[in-house]
Homo-oligomer: A and B are copies of this chain.
Amino acid sequence: MAQMLNAEIIAIGSEMLTPFRTDTNSLWLTDRLNGLGIDVKLKTVVGDDEGRLEEMIRDAMKRSEIIISTGGLGPTEDDITRKIFARVLKKRLILNDSILEKIRARFAKRGVPMPEINSRQALIIEDAQLIENKNGTAPGMLIYHGKCTIALLPGPPREMKPMFEAAVAPALRERAGDLLILRRKLSIFGLTESATDEIAAPIYTKFRNPVTTILFKDGQIELHLTANAKTVDEAEKLLDELAGQLDVALGEYIFSRRDETLEEVVGDKLKLNGYTLATAESCTGGLLAGRITEVPGSSDYFLEGAVTYSNEAKARQLGVPKDLIEVHGAVSEEVAKAMAEGVRRLAGSTFGIGITGIAGPGGGTEEKPVGLVYVALADDEETMIRKFIFPGDRQFIRQLSVNAALDLIRRRL
């Protein structure tokens, strides 16, 4: 790849050094910076610790061309970003009257007098370019210092993101010049991570641009392709070539090339064909219906669901014969089939899905272990049944079961 500008991201605030909070701002910023053709080489999280922050900023200015800091612009003593950047840059902090007025007005609008400490947020580093904050009180700053472009942004994402877009991205775009990064995501279901890699690696390792990353996420595999080029067309062409070869090799295991979820892909196909769906769940306890109805407009194709935990409910709600349950057990091919056919008949839907299994941790036997799950899909011609033995804990088994059911109907469509 061609030489790219280097950036580093500094997250400031002691709450980011607790076990409770992770710095998610930097993921979003990395995506945006990469999109501008800028490489992120380092990320740091530093607390309300003047000495360490000062050292971090001094070092950053030596090694990085672009520095983005988030957080530490609040009104309290702990908010040290302004002060320490000013110290390292050897600049004064100047009270900006018009910012002060804006902060006062924000409080007045809410019918509250401005606490005196908030005036600290109107202190601006000398020569810095102001970045307006439409969603909060702390303005941001853009500073040019030697080879460094420095942006100070507030921590809350809903303040930080629009400020980056409005002021920082345009400034960096000018500087980064004519290189850009484009990404594409291939979403895969039905293969393990290593099986995917065995198929995909012989292809993607032939390419140095795009670069390919494999991720395992929520029981699915994602292939992320990242291309670097001078124009969007050129980057798209590079992506098309690699994606095309991966497409041929991975075939129907790829369920999306456009960052859609399984439930969106299924929903689109149902809607397109005017088909409808009803679900009958035991071990997944409503999660399948929950996932399907995450999609806006799902009421067009999702009619109803039954969560039949008890055998009594399986019989009454779905018409599963009680002797069938007695003979084969609630977790069986036969009961999954009867559930799918029952809910389809009652709802009058094109498709019916039935899921029954043992999510654990209790309830497993040697013959029927924890992780055993049957998924059935009924339509007017036939009922397909799949048997799975899933690994992992209760939550993971339930999640994999929902994914398997969605993938079964995706392939049927």
Contacts and interface: CB of A to CB of B under 8 A. Distances in A.
Nearest to A363: B299
A165 interface: no
Interface stretch (A99-107, A169-177, A284-292, A331-339): A284-292
A17 B41 contact: yes
Nearest to A303: B310
A186 interface: no
A121 interface: no
Contacts of A285: 289-290, 292-294, 298, 302, 305
Given A285-B305, A305-B306, A305-B307, A17 B44 contact: no
Contacts of A118: none
Contacts of A34: 19
Given A19-B28, A22-B24, A31-B19, A303 B296 contact: no
Given A304-B313, A309-B299, A22 B22 contact: yes
B44 A224 contact: no
B18 A224 contact: yes
A11 to B, nearest CB: 9
Contact of A293 (B286, B294, B362): B286
Contacts of A362: 296-297
Contacts of A19: 27-28, 30-31, 34
Contacts of A298: 285, 309
Interface string A44-72: 11110100100110010001000000000
A15 interface: yes
A25 to B, nearest CB: 10
B347 A313 contact: yes
B293 A309 contact: yes
A394 B52 contact: no
Interface residues of A, number: 71
Contacts of A360: 296
Contact of A20 (B27, B286, B316, B361): B27
A312 interface: yes
A24 B304 CA distance: 38
Interface in A1-46: 15-24, 26-28, 30-31, 34, 40-46
A211 to B, nearest CB: 10
Contact of A317 (B24, B281, B306): B306
A213 interface: yes
Contacts of A307: 279, 286, 289, 293, 304-307
Contacts of A305: 285-286, 305-307, 309
Given A18-B213, A18-B224, A299 B310 contact: yes
18 contacts: A17-B42, A22-B23, A41-B47, A42-B44, A44-B45, A284-B290, A284-B293, A285-B298, A285-B302, A285-B305, A287-B287, A289-B290, A293-B307, A293-B309, A294-B395, A296-B360, A299-B310, A304-B313
Given A286-B305, A289-B290, A303-B312, 16 more contacts: A19-B30, A20-B215, A22-B23, A41-B47, A43-B45, A59-B59, A285-B298, A287-B287, A290-B290, A294-B395, A296-B361, A303-B313, A305-B305, A305-B306, A313-B347, A317-B346
- List 8 tightest A-B contacts by C-beta distance, closest first: A285-B293, A286-B289, A305-B307, A286-B286, A304-B313, A19-B31, A287-B290, A286-B290
